[in-house]
């Protein structure tokens, strides 16, 4: 076992994503707590899109609280929410996501602008989730200092447990993740990093806020984490997007694939799956 930088990442026999073969029939769903959480795993999303997997993205919260008053006029919550949706639509266009595959939930929020964990919000997540029936779900890890990430994870977990079919969650590392395992990673180089930086900079309000408050942009903030992740998990590439796997109604990838038709199941993963608690 190797311990990651500041113990954020625990890496024990992590698998590169490229060693796994995903049948195209597996539907992917990104449950982004905020606009820009999709982009933080953009290279993995591009890899899987090029593999031919149908991809759906839903953004849970408006993200209005992340916009500085100086960035828009008038600086109301509604104007800020619309702005962040425009930024997400622009980044998804650049990515090549069909517009119909992007949804905004605008869940009820608390006074600080974080989505609430309540029955109405959980229902909204459940309805959309069950209409897509994804086999693989991507979202930020729940062990995070950000209340929005924690609550969206908690609502997702409830929905996934009750879904009634096997699925796997890929819980990604975020700058505010406290601690997680690295079960699967996607290593990448400078060319993909430049593309990802461009994707992230479509979130202009967040890029500017990072420049104002942290002295570096949104792109550098995320790519720094990816550099640390690659180092902590001894990845043979300068950057890595890393994931902890959580299975629901399944204990390994084989169970997920068993839910597919016999034809698509033949295209099974090369590495024989990944145990839930390895």
Contact range with Zn ion by CB under 5 A, out of 29-37, 206-214, 234-242, 269-277 = 29-37
Interface stretch with Zn ion, choices 30-38, 46-54, 202-210, 269-277 (CB under 5 A): 30-38
Instruction: Out of 4, 33, 66, 142, point to the residue binding Zn ion (CB under 5 A).
Output: 33
Instruction: Give the residue among 13, 274, 36, 25 at the shortest CA–CA distance from 172.
Output: 36
Structure tokens at 173: 């590392």
Smaller CB distance to Zn ion: residue 139 or 235? 139
Rule CB under 5 A: is residue 114 a binding residue for Zn ion? no
> Please, what is the minimum distance in Å from the beta carbon of residue 157 to Zn ion?
17
Question: How many CA atoms lie less than 13 Å away from 248 in the CB half-sphere?
Answer: 20
| Nearer to Zn ion among residue 115 and residue 166 (C-beta) | 115
- Among 37-45, 126-134, 181-189, 246-254, which window interacts with Zn ion (CB under 5 A)? 37-45
* Cβ-based neighbours of 152, under 8 Å, separated by 6 or more: 31, 33, 60, 61, 115, 125, 139, 140
Strands 239-248 and 180-188: antiparallel
Could you say which of 37, 109, 183, 226 contacts Zn ion (CB under 5 A)? 37
Closer Cβ to Zn ion, 34 or 80, answer by number: 34
Q: Which range in 4-12, 34-42, 68-76, 154-162 contacts Zn ion by CB under 5 A?
A: 34-42
Pick the binder of Zn ion from 17, 22, 34, 35 (CB under 5 A).
Answer: 34
With H, G, I as helix, E, B as strand and everything else as coil, classify residue 219. Answer: helix
Query: Which residues, numbered 180-219, are part of the site for Zn ion (CB under 5 A)?
Result: none
CA distance 253 to 274: 6
Name the nearest CA neighbour of 192 among 46, 11, 37.
46
Positions touching Zn ion (CB under 5 A) are 33-34, 37
């Amino acid at each position: 076992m190797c311990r990651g930088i500041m113990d954020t990442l625990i890496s024990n026999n992590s698998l590169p994503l490229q060693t796994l073969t995903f049948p195209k029939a597996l539907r992917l769903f990104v449950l982004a707590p905020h606009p820009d959480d999709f982009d933080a795993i953009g290279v993995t999303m591009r890899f899987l899109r090029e593999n031919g997997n149908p991809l759906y993205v839903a953004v849970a919260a408006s993200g209005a609280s992340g916009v500085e008053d100086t960035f828009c006029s008038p600086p109301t919550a509604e104007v800020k929410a619309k702005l962040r949706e425009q930024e997400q639509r622009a980044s998804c266009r650049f990515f090549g996501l069909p517009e119909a595959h992007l949804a905004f939930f605008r869940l009820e929020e608390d006074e600080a602008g974080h989505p609430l964990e309540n029955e109405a919000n959980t229902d909204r997540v459940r309805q959309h989730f069950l209409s897509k029936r994804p086999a693989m779900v991507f979202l930020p890890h729940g062990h995070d200092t950000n209340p929005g990430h924690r609550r969206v994870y908690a609502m997702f977990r409830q929905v996934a447990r009750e879904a009634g079919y096997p699925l796997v969650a890929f819980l990604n590392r975020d700058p505010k993740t406290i601690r997680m395992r690295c079960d699967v990673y996607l290593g990448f180089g400078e060319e993909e990093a430049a593309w990802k930086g461009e994707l992230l900079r479509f979130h202009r309000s967040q890029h500017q806020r990072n420049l104002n408050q942290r002295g570096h942009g949104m792109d550098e903030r995320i790519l720094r984490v990816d550099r640390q992740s690659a180092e902590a998990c001894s990845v043979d590439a300068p950057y890595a997007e890393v994931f902890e796997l959580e299975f629901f109604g399944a204990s390994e990838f084989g169970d997920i694939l068993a839910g597919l038709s016999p034809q698509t199941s033949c295209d099974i993963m090369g590495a024989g799956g990944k145990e839930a608690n390895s």
